Structure 1
Amino acid sequence: MQGFQEDLYLDTPLSKHLYATYAKDMPIIDYHCHLVAQEIFENEEFEDLGQMWLAHDHYKWRAMRTFGIDEMYITGEASFEEKFYRFAEILPLLIGNPLYIWCALELKRYFGISEPLGADNAKEMYSRTKQMIRENHMTPQWCMETSNVELVCTTEDPTDDLLYHKKLLGKTKTKVLTAFRPDNAMFCERTGFAAYIQKLGSVSSLPVSTFRGLIDALENRLLYFKELGTTVSDDGIPDFTYVAADAKEVEDIYQKALGNQDLSKHEIDAYRTAFLLAMGRLYHRHGFVMQLHVGTYLDANTTRVAAIGQSTGFDCTDDATKVKSIGFLLDTLTSEGVLPKTILYPLDGTNIENYAVLAAGFCDGDAKAKVQLGAPWWFNDQVYGLERQFAAAGNLYPLSLSVGMLTDSRSFLSYPRHELYRRLLCRFLAQVVERGEYFSGESYLKRIIEDVCYRNVKEYFGF
């Protein structure tokens, strides 16, 4: 059995031609990720492939748990070498899982290794890759430059001082921006909400004793982020139902939340609605793109989250948020004339076509692709999810207007996910041509591929 093949997913002469000629060498703009700016700035050489793969990657952690591997070898105190060996044991068994292809691409692109990794050659692979890390001085910045990454947007809370983003300005080949993520000010039902609001007030030097004061403080921080060049926001929307409420009701709910009082489902939804509307107005006023990540089911395994922490592989997908609720949100902002550019990311893959139709319904002359369907993300950023979006959603919203792929990753080796996307995009386009469904010529195919891979995202975000 052969190892990694360069024709992966490129199964016709046309698909190979399109990928090699137009997609392969386009720069990467990774407009949504969870890399740590401090790690980019400090730029320390990686210890080994175990660290590169397993220090932050909850995809791999989740897979290892399914095989019954002890947590000590996942997020515990075992060395990265030991963790690498345990992951190597299960990798050959991940047939059909995106982790298998991602790892194969990462071994090939960063280490030039084509053969598969498994328990039988794990020690040899470990030594070999560790030597290459030393010889090539592999660091976070090395990974980004090697992958031809032009720009990344990390994700930070409004209270972040962005110290390392400031230190990175003009210092790296890859431009490092941030995204404004105000979720902690939206989750009014959480135990730490009141303490967080006080922190926000302190950082912004503004009173936050009222809901209006809260929004003013967030605007203050939004402008602070904007000073560093960002035009990107991220809002997570789990379990949301649109509930219109007047200013007094919203204020009463806010005061209850500050007092750590229990809130009803109706009150939580009313607050979230008011909050998202207020943020949408701010994004429009200050030229930010509003990215709505819809359908997360956070901290499903509360026991393990309590023991290990959040964002460690215990989040899931959910269908509780109805398309109509997001539609009401967009419609209210539209009726006020303040709908910003918006990208919708439904995590529930069964609803992806409905969101494509919804997005098209709110486009107008203000901007090209003003509201659009985002790349398949998180649990959908694999071959099936990507093909589903190309084939199904593409019938309902022009694929040629897409801002392309993102990594949504904490790993510096995750950029081959852009390569995977580009390969599948070229295969899809070639299939459409070969079925006789497209005959406008190669010059248009070139434009579409280069737009989706690179130009659209630069224009849309104003990078």
Structure 2
Amino acid sequence: MAKVFLDENFLLQTKTAEILYHEYAKDMPIIDYHNHLPPDQILNDINFNNLSHAWLHGDHYKWRAMRANGVNEAYCTGDKTDFEKFEKWAETVPNTMRNPLYHWSHLELKGYFGISEILNASSGKKIYEDASAKLSTKDYTVRNLLKMMNVKTVCTTDDPLDSLEHHIAYHKELTQNPKNTEVAMLPAFRPDKFILIDNPNFASYLQKLSTIVGFEIKDYASLQKALKSRADFFAANGAKVSDHGLEEIYADDFTEEQADTILKKVLSGQTITNTEASLFKSAILHFLGTMYSELGWIQQFHLGALRNNNKRAMRLLGPDTGWDSIGDWSQAKALSKFLGKLDEFDQLSKTIIYNLNPADNELMATMIGNFNDGSVAGKVQWGSGWWFLDQKDGMEKQINTLSNMGLLSRFVGMLTDSRSFLSFPRHEYFRRILCNIYGNDIENGELPNDLPFIGKTIQNICYNNAKEYFGF
């Protein structure tokens, strides 16, 4: 007999997996240590206008699926009404079967709104109305959506140019109310625009940074000083994490004099070569790594995305609208050299590396072992499957590869990497997959039937490891 879709034992194939999930994993809190949630919306505790506003605004995953289903751009990023856009999404959903969007969408409807009905063109209107009605109430503000999923901490992704005014105001609000049990919101430092010197806007970014720090950035030394000033400001306002979204790690041999010469060429309006650009990126990335070590921060590197492939769409719609894919850079040598140079002088902070190309799974799983020096359990981590890989197959491969080549027990677990406040059932998805893997191994006799020990291991992966690793 076929199992019921999305019942309480969804993705759990054995009785042991069911026990592990329901008795150990299900109720663990969430630390979402990397996402793109808007801090102002958390501060202002907004309500969404409707389900389309919460679900479709800015969600390039859904836009890609709609485009593939033949939906006109007007219903994705265009000027159609929210309900018209939702209708097209509802028509698309049945065609997403076996895409993670099908599972995520129904997990979100069930988890937040108690809606178990299958979403399609026929059910779309009622689901839209029921969910939208709830979203308008005080129980469905964004803070309550986070608390609904037992989220304890979120780390947003923030530009060094950011004033952090929303973080500062939010922290002040929480500290003034000692009985408050709200979600902690911390900033994360994302300085990529000051690494990518070949970006046409690089000089204008430096000018903005100069204005904020109050002195002219005229050479490499003053750029370092400015970035350190901003990092200190972030640290003073709760930051413990940095993040980078790069195609690859840059680790060319360099001198600071060379980096200075290259930067001055750009500041004077001259063109630099690809070799010069790579050298500068290598220099500033190493500097940032040493700075993170001094601050005691965790550094994160998301590697391998080939962004903005469709130039026409980039021109018309801008970045982050769903035209990115997996890239195929050679990652091993530069990553080894970058981490090794920091480690050589004991300047390698806790590090999490994420890869977008699944061909690099074993590479990443073995690379982290080169720099786990015994000072901290799981000091260098291979991060969870992300973006195109945060689906069932991608998570299973990441879990199995890490198990084979490292210590899954020390893994800091899942994150959303999302702009959506409705994306937190991805943690549930991960936890069900994790428990199913352990459950299958126990029932196959590949692991001992020691549920208290394995259950504790699962709880560590779901929450405790991250809590200890990040110090939240």
TM-score of the two chains, using structure 2 as the length reference: 0.95
How many Å separate the matches in 2 of 1:420 and 1:13? 18
Maintained 8 Å contact 1:165/1:176: yes
Partner letter of residue 255 of structure 1?
A: K
Maintained 8 Å contact 1:184/1:196: yes
Offset of residue 137 of structure 1 = 4.2
Maintained 8 Å contact 2:154/2:184: yes
Offset of residue 44 of structure 1 = 2.1
Q: Give the alignment of 1:39-438 within 5 angstroms.
A: 39-135=41-137, 137-169=139-171, 170-171=173-174, 173-438=182-447
Maintained 8 Å contact 1:151/1:177: yes
How many Å separate the matches in 2 of 1:52 and 1:321? 38
Q: Percent identity?
A: 38
Partner letter of residue 287 of structure 1?
A: G
Which segment is superposed worse, 199-208 or 117-126?
A: 199-208
Maintained 8 Å contact 1:432/1:438: yes
Query: Among 421, 434, 451, which residue is 1:442 paired with?
Result: 451
**RMSD of aligned residue pairs (Cα, Å):** 1.5
Which segment is superposed worse, 333-342 or 205-214?
A: 205-214
Maintained 8 Å contact 2:249/2:338: no
Counterpart secondary structure, 2:162: coil
Maintained 8 Å contact 2:245/2:301: yes
List alignment gaps of at least 5 residues for structure 2: 175-180
Partner letter of residue 428 of structure 1?
A: I
Counterpart secondary structure, 1:161: coil
Offset of residue 256 of structure 1 = 2.1
Q: Give the alignment of 1:18-33 within 5 angstroms.
A: 18-33=20-35
TM-score of the two chains, using structure 1 as the length reference: 0.97
Maintained 8 Å contact 2:368/2:381: yes
Partner letter of residue 8 of structure 2?
A: E
List alignment gaps of at least 5 residues for structure 1: none
Counterpart secondary structure, 2:378: coil
Offset of residue 444 of structure 1 = 1.5
How many Å separate the matches in 2 of 1:137 and 1:30? 21
Offset of residue 206 of structure 1 = 3.5
Offset of residue 136 of structure 1 = 5.6
Relative distance call for 1:145 and 1:91 in structure 2 (3 A) is: same
2:470 is matched with: 461
Partner letter of residue 77 of structure 2?
A: T
Maintained 8 Å contact 1:283/1:290: yes
Offset of residue 42 of structure 1 = 1.6
How many Å separate the matches in 1 of 2:37 and 2:299? 20
The one-character-per-residue Cα deviations of 1:90-123 (angstroms, maximum 9, x if unpaired) are 1001011011000000010111111211011211
How many Å separate the matches in 1 of 2:6 and 2:363? 37
How many Å separate the matches in 2 of 1:142 and 1:447? 28
The one-character-per-residue Cα deviations of 1:166-199 (angstroms, maximum 9, x if unpaired) are 1111536111111000001011001110010111
Offset of residue 398 of structure 1 = 0.5
Partner letter of residue 8 of structure 1?
A: F
How many Å separate the matches in 2 of 1:338 and 1:218? 18
Offset of residue 35 of structure 1 = 0.4
The one-character-per-residue Cα deviations of 1:362-384 (angstroms, maximum 9, x if unpaired) are 01132111111011111110000
Which segment is superposed worse, 35-44 or 252-261?
A: 252-261
How many Å separate the matches in 2 of 1:247 and 1:51? 48
How many Å separate the matches in 2 of 1:32 and 1:234? 8
Offset of residue 396 of structure 1 = 0.4
Maintained 8 Å contact 1:356/1:373: yes
The one-character-per-residue Cα deviations of 1:201-230 (angstroms, maximum 9, x if unpaired) are 221223321112111111111111111112
Offset of residue 257 of structure 1 = 2.4
Relative distance call for 1:260 and 1:119 in structure 2 (3 A) is: farther
Partner letter of residue 246 of structure 1?
A: T
Maintained 8 Å contact 2:250/2:338: no
Counterpart secondary structure, 1:392: helix
Which segment is superposed worse, 47-56 or 312-321?
A: 312-321
